[in-house]
């Protein structure tokens, strides 16, 4: 098998926690060939297939020199067994253009995970709207008046931009409404930008759980990202502490329902964010936490991913 990872530059990987690296290591353990490129390396020209300037690599044991480039070549994407799209957000115009190129490669016979069209169709904040039975009271709007009315009704709310990641741009406003107007102005930009508002969930104190679903099957352990000190955000990038734990029956219920609906659309790997009993986000671009779960529980999530991918490719 030959896997091509479309990802951020390899030199930027923090291998002790990087999920894409864990996938590569699991694939290399099976003797699979590994190549990598950046979205900027992918191109198309009329009369030719979608190609990428790729680096075929071998993994090395040293953390500070973890790969060796065997060769560099321009490769048609249809000629590798699988293209694994792992570019981190932001989900901006360039990301969207990349999905169109990858979709063209699919039309030519490439197999891309996650599906480029599914990536476009499921924005990570807004994908939860399809599952109202699992989410807390939620408002998506450009209207400052709507946000203020929602606050009057719910009293304790969370406001967040639709294009943020790692907890960036998230604000909590309690019943006193302190700084609500200023926060709306910052996120809403005088009605130019849509934002999401949700009722605050006190269960965040026990962690914002990352529940992973691979080809519709739920990983049996999640990573609870627990806010530290006075911080309201559990994101690891915002200083949260990651604690692996078995998933609950509620986690399983949510993951099964969401996974069974989204996997047939080409979302091979998704990462659900669950606070208490509520689904808060569906991560589809580059879900993480493989290594943290594996290190703390012994359950090798990357191996589960590669085994599922092997079955998919054989099928």
Catalytic residue among 215, 251, 273, 292, which?
Answer: 273
Long-range contacts: 99-102, Cβ < 8 Å, 24+?
Answer: 101/42, 101/43, 101/44, 101/50, 102/6, 102/42, 102/50, 102/77
Residue showing tokens 């026990």: 206
Active site residue 78: no
Spot the catalytic one: 225, 235, 278, 300: 225
- 125 is a catalytic site residue: yes
Q: Look up 281 and say whether it is catalytic.
A: yes
Cβ neighbour number for residue 67 with a 10 Å cutoff: 20
* Active-site annotation holds for 292: no
Q: Which of 25, 87, 160, 199 is catalytic?
A: 160
Catalytic residue among 124, 283, 292, 300: 283
| Known catalytic residue at 142 | no
Q: Which of 25, 210, 215, 251 is catalytic?
A: 210
Q: Which of 25, 55, 86, 233 is catalytic?
A: 233
Angle ∠(133,138,142) on CA atoms, nearest 5: 140
Closest CA to 80 of 45, 52, 117: 52
In this structure, are residues 44 and 104 in contact, taking their beta carbons and an 8 Å threshold?
yes
Active site residue 283: yes
- Catalytic site residue from 25, 55, 86, 125: 125
Residue 281, SS3 per DSSP: strand
Question: Hey, which residues are catalytic here?
Answer: 125, 160, 210, 225, 233, 273, 281, 283
């Amino acid at each position: 098998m030959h896997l091509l990872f479309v990802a951020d530059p390899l030199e930027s990987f923090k291998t002790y926690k990087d999920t894409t690296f864990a996938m590569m290591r699991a694939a290399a353990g099976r003797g699979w060939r590994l190549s990598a490129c950046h979205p900027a390396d992918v191109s198309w020209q009329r009369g030719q297939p979608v190609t990428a300037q790729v680096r075929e690599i071998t993994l090395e044991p040293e953390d500070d020199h973890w790969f060796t480039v065997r060769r560099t070549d321009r490769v048609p994407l249809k000629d590798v067994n699988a293209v694994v799209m792992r570019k981190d957000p932001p989900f901006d115009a360039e990301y969207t253009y990349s999905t169109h190129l990858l979709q063209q490669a699919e039309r030519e016979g490439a197999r891309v995970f996650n599906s480029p069209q599914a990536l476009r169709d499921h924005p990570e904040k807004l994908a939860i709207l399809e599952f109202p039975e699992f989410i807390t009271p939620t408002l998506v709007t450009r209207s400052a008046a709507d946000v203020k009315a929602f606050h009057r009704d719910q009293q304790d709310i969370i406001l967040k931009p639709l294009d943020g990641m790692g907890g960036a741009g998230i604000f909590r406003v309690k019943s006193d409404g302190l700084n609500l107007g200023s926060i709306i102005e910052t996120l809403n930009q005088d009605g130019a930008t849509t934002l999401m508002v949700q009722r605050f969930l006190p269960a965040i104190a026990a962690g914002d759980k990352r529940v992973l679903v691979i080809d519709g099957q739920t990983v049996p352990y999640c990573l609870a990202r627990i806010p530290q000190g006075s911080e309201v955000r559990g994101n690891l990038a915002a200083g949260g502490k990651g604690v692996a734990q078995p998933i609950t029956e509620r986690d399983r219920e949510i993951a099964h329902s969401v996974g069974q609906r989204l996997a047939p659309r080409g979302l091979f790997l998704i990462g659900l964010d669950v606070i208490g009993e509520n689904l808060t986000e569906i991560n589809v671009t580059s879900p993480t936490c493989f290594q943290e779960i594996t290190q703390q529980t012994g359950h090798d999530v990357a191996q589960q991913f590669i085994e599922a991918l092997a079955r998919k490719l054989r099928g």
